[in-house]
Amino acid sequence: MTKRVLILATDGFEQSELIEPKKALEAAGMETVVASPKTGSIRGWHQHNWGDSVPVDAALGEVCAADFDALLLPGGQMNPDALRLEDEVIGLIEDFADAGKTIAAICHAPWLLIEADIVDGRAVTGWPSIHTDLENAGAQVFDEEVIIDGNLITSRNPGDIPAFSRALIEALQAQPETVLT
């Protein structure tokens, strides 16, 4: 059975942090679904300007953790800052965490992990400006391209995308296949 990865994002996602891991996952034979509080499409941020739009595959209310093997949270500054104000987003992240499913967050996206209260005592990384936020939430923060702590995978920035994508794909490949009865 094909592994399914939910990608949660909204306008202002860091373009490379959504598009590149999505392509890597799909190249590895995995299905990706982009969900957002918005319908239609969401627009990325590329360096210092608005970037490309990405179609939204499902509205936020149409997805649940039980239907996916992993959750991908792209960064950018605007995207996670907007999403952390959405109770439904935080509830969905908590559902993935409660189920022990893989959660991969890059750049500023660990802000969402803080909001979901799942970083206390965990080893993580993220964009340098959120290190204090992570520490204040009880996380052990490291400055490395990818940190894997149980079901959490975190990375710092777009330069870490190859290692981040590889870690997520390896985590999914290591999961046992779900057998439907």
- Cα distance between residue 166 and residue 88, in whole Å: 28
Contact of 134 with 124, CB cutoff 8 Å: yes
Q: What are phi and psi of 164, to 5 degrees?
A: -60, -50
48, 64, 107, 131: the catalytic one is 107
* Residue 64 falls in the annotated catalytic set: no
Q: Among residues 16, 26, 50, which one has the least CA distance to residue 160?
A: 16
- Cα distance between residue 22 and residue 44, in whole Å: 14
* Residue 108 falls in the annotated catalytic set: yes
**Dihedral through CA 110, CA 116, CA 122, CA 128, nearest 10?**
20
DSSP state of 175: S
Number of H helices, E strands in the chain: 6, 12
Active-site residues, by number, are 107-108
